[in-house]
Chains A and B, each alone.
Chain A
Amino acid sequence: MLRGFEAAHGLTLKRQFIAAERRAHLHALFLILPLLLFVLVTFAAPVVLLLTRAVYDPSIAGTLPRTVAALQDWDGRDVPPEKAFAALVEDFRTVSERNTQAFIGKRLNYEIPGARSKVIASVRKSQAIAAPPYKEQLIAADKMWGDRLIWAKIKQSGEPFTSYYLLRSLDLERDVDGKIGPVAASQAIYLAVLWRTFYISALVTLITLLLAYPVALMLAHAPPQTANILLIFILVPFWTSLLVRTTAWFVLLQDNGPINDALKFLQFTDEPLKLIFSRFGTLTAMVYIQLPFTLLPIYSVMKGISPSYMRAARSLGGGPLYSFFRIYLPLTMPGIGAGCLLTFILCLGYYITPALVGGAGDQMVSGIIALALNQENNWGKASALSTILLLATLSLFFVYNRLIGIDKVKLG
C-alpha cells in the first residue's frame, strides 16, 4: 500500500519535473524565436538565395526553349540538324517581340567573347527569314552559326542548373565537347585573386602575430595600472571606425603626405615613395586594423598564466630560452590560435581597405565580387565567388568554434 503510494507519487513527481523542464525549454525557445526568425529572413534566406544564383541560371532555357529542346538529342559532333536552326529562328522571333536579345547576347558572351553583338545582329537579321532552309540563311546572316561551338554553348547553358559560374571562378570552363579544362590564359584571373586573398590574409595574420606577441607579453607582466593605461593605446584604435582608420592611412600614405614628408625631411629619399595604391599600403593598413584583434586574445590568455610556472622552470634549471619555448609558449597557444584564426577569417572578407588604399593588383575576393555586380552586373559570377568565399569562411569558423567557442570572442 505504502509502496504503491510512493511509486504513484514518485512517478507524478518525475512526470511533473519533465513537464516543468519542457515548459522551461519552450519558454526559452519562445524568447529566442523572434531573433531566429529575423536572422533567417534578413540574413540566412538572402544568403541561400544568393548561393543558388551561382548554380542556377535559367536565362537561356527561358529565352530559347525550342532550340534547347531541339538540341537535346544532338550528339555535338557536327553542326546540328536543320530542325535546330528552325527552332532557333522561331525562338528569335519571340526574342525579338519581347526584346530580350541583349539578355541572351550577354549570357553567350560570357561563354564566347564577342558573341554579344553577333547574337543581337542575328536576331535582327533572322526576322527576314520566312521559309526554309533555315540553316543556310542563318549561316549567311552570321557564319558563327556554321560552327558547332555556339550550338554546344547554347546546349550547355540551356541547362538551368549550371556549373559554369563556379568553374569560371576557379579559371575552368567546359570546352566544345563538354570536357572541363583551364580557360585561356588571358581570361584566367580568379585563381590569382583567390590566391592573393589567402596570401594577403596569411601575411597580415603573421605580421600581426609577430607584432602582437611581444607587446602582449610585456603588458601581461606589467603592473595592472601601467597595463591598463597602455591598453588604451590598443583600445582607442579598436573602437575607432574601420573607415576612419583606413582614412587615416589614406591621408598618411599620400605622395605628399606626412610619411613621405618625414622621409624627405630625413633625407632618406628625394622622390616621394609610392605608398598609396600599393601592396605596401594595403598590408600596412590591414595590419594596423587587425592588430588589436590578434593581440587581445593573446593578452587575455597570458593574463591567466600563473607566474609560478616560469619560476618553477627556471628554478629547476631551465635556461631562459628553454623555459620560454618549452613552458610559456605552449601555454599561450590557445591565445595565439584564437587571435590568428579571428584575424585570418576577418581578413578574408576585406573590401573597404584594399579598395581605398590598394592598387588594382591588391583587390581581394570581396572587391572582385563588388566589381562583378557594380560594373558587369554579372550575378552568376558574383554569386559563385561569394560561394567560394563563404565556404572558406565557414569552414574556418567551424574550426574556430570547435577550438575556442564563438561566444568567447573577445570584444575589447
Chain B
Amino acid sequence: MLRPPPYATPIERALFYLGWLFTGLVLLFLIAPILAIVPLSFNAEPYFSYPMPGLSLQWYRDFFGNERWTGALLLSVKLAVTVTVFATILGTLAALGLSRTNLPFRSILLGILLLPMIVPVIIVAVADFMAFAHFNLIGTFLGLVLAHMALATPFVVITVTSTLTSFDWSLQKAAQSLGARPFFAFRRVILPLILPGIVSGAIFAFVTSFDEVVVALFLASAEQRTLPKQMFSGIREMISPTITAAATIQVLFSVCLLVGAELLRRRSERLRGLSHG
C-alpha cells in the first residue's frame, strides 16, 4: 500500500509518510556508495572527488593494459570456475543424500557441512595456512581451490537442500515404476527439476570464490594475485583510481549474476508450481 490504510488516524498518516521518507533515505544509503564509485572510475584526474574536471577511460585502460590486473582477473576467473565445478558436484550429491529426512544424525551432518559458512574466515585461513604447509600446498593453485571449495560448498548444500524440500519424490517412484533405472530417473526426471536450485548454488559458489580475499591473502604466493587480493593491496599500498574501475567492473558483474539468480528463482518457483509469475 502506498497509501495509508483507510482507518488510519492523522498521526498514523503522518507516521506512514515518515516511514516512506525513512525507507527512501535508507535505500539511498544502500545504493548511493555503489553508484558514487561508478562515475569516479571515469574521472580524468586521479582524485576521488566531485565535481570531476573531465571524463576519461584511462583507469579502464590501466586495468585492461596492466598485466597485474588482467592476470589477477584471469586467475580469479580460473579459480572461481574450478571451485564452482567441484563444489557444485560435491554439494549437490550431499544435498541429495540429506534430502532423506529420516536419516540418522541428519541435523548434525548438516551442521558440520554448513560450518565453514559460519566460522570466521580468518580462522579458516589461518588453519589452512598451517595445515596446507605440511603438504606444500601454500602458494599453489590446488591449495586455493581446496580452501575456497570448503568455503563455497555450504552455499550449494543450502540452495539445493531448500530446492529438494519441496521436491515431489513420487515423481521418482513414478519414473521407476515405469521402468526407468535409478540413474536414468535421476538424469531425466529429478535433475531437470532441481537444476535451477543447483545453478543458483553454483552462482553462490562462484561468487564466494571470486570475492574471497582473506584466504587468498594467507594461502597465495606473492605472484599469485587474485582480483580481490590485488584490490586489497591496491587500496593498502598505492591508492590508484584503477581500484574504482576494478570495483565498477565487479559491480556490473554482480548485477548480472543477481539478475541470473533471480530469473532462476522465478523459473524454479514456476516449475514447482509455487507461482505463475
A residues with CB within 8 A of B:
24-25, 27-32, 34-36, 38-40, 42-47, 49-50, 53, 211-212, 214-215, 217-219, 221-223, 226, 230, 233-237, 239-245, 247-252, 254, 256-258, 261, 288, 291-292, 314, 320, 345, 348-349, 351-352, 356, 366, 369-370, 373, 379, 382-383, 386, 389-390, 393-394, 397, 401, 406-407, 409, 411-412
Contact indicator per residue, chain B 85-100, by CB within 8 Å of chain A (1) or not (0): 0000011011011111
What residues on A are CB-neighbors of B255 within 8 Å?
Answer: 236, 239
CB contact under 8 A between A29 and B27, given known A50-B123, A389-B120, A411-B159: no
B50 touches A35 (CB 8 A): no
* Selected contact of B118 from candidates A32, A291, A382, A393, CB within 8 Å: A393
Cβ-closest chain B residue relative to A383: B126
Given A25-B103, A394-B118: 9 more A-B contacts, CB < 8 Å? A35-B113, A39-B115, A218-B19, A222-B1, A226-B2, A236-B34, A244-B211, A252-B48, A258-B49
What residues on A are CB-neighbors of B129 within 8 Å?
Answer: 373
CB contact under 8 A between A248 and B31, given known A38-B153, A241-B210: no
Helix, strand, loop or mixed for chain A's interface? Answer: helix
Residue B47 is within 8 A (CB to CB) of chain A in the complex: yes
A33 to chain B, nearest CB (A): 8
145-194 of chain B: CB within 8 A of chain A? 146-147, 149-150, 153, 155, 157-159, 161-162
* Selected contact of A288 from candidates B29, B117, B150, B231, CB within 8 Å: B29
B30 touches A233 (CB 8 A): yes
What residues on A are CB-neighbors of B112 within 8 Å?
Answer: 36, 39-40, 44
B11 touches A320 (CB 8 A): yes
B97 touches A291 (CB 8 A): no
9 smallest CB-CB distances across A and B, nearest first, come from A349-B120, A31-B97, A46-B131, A241-B211, A46-B127, A32-B97, A35-B94, A248-B33, A366-B122
Tell me the count of chain B residues lying within 8 A, CB to CB, of chain A.
94
A244 touches B149 (CB 8 A): no
CB contact under 8 A between A239 and B149, given known A36-B109, A43-B115, A409-B158: no
A241 touches B126 (CB 8 A): no
B247 touches A248 (CB 8 A): yes
A34 touches B93 (CB 8 A): yes
- Whole-angstrom distance between the alpha carbons of A217 and B36 in the complex? 27
B34 touches A237 (CB 8 A): yes
Residue B258 is within 8 A (CB to CB) of chain A in the complex: yes
- Whole-angstrom distance between the alpha carbons of A31 and B113 in the complex? 13
- Whole-angstrom distance between the alpha carbons of A242 and B208 in the complex? 10
B47 touches A235 (CB 8 A): no
B98 to chain A, nearest CB (A): 6
A408 to chain B, nearest CB (A): 8
A386 to chain B, nearest CB (A): 5
CB contact under 8 A between A39 and B113, given known A239-B258, A240-B34: yes
A248 touches B110 (CB 8 A): no
- Whole-angstrom distance between the alpha carbons of A222 and B207 in the complex? 31
What residues on A are CB-neighbors of B49 within 8 Å?
Answer: 254, 256-258, 261
- Whole-angstrom distance between the alpha carbons of A32 and B111 in the complex? 13
A348 to chain B, nearest CB (A): 7
- Whole-angstrom distance between the alpha carbons of A222 and B115 in the complex? 36
A42 touches B243 (CB 8 A): no
What residues on B are CB-neighbors of A407 within 8 Å?
Answer: 110, 114, 158, 161-162
CB contact under 8 A between A406 and B111, given known A211-B26, A258-B49: yes
CB contact under 8 A between A49 and B131, given known A42-B147, A351-B122: yes
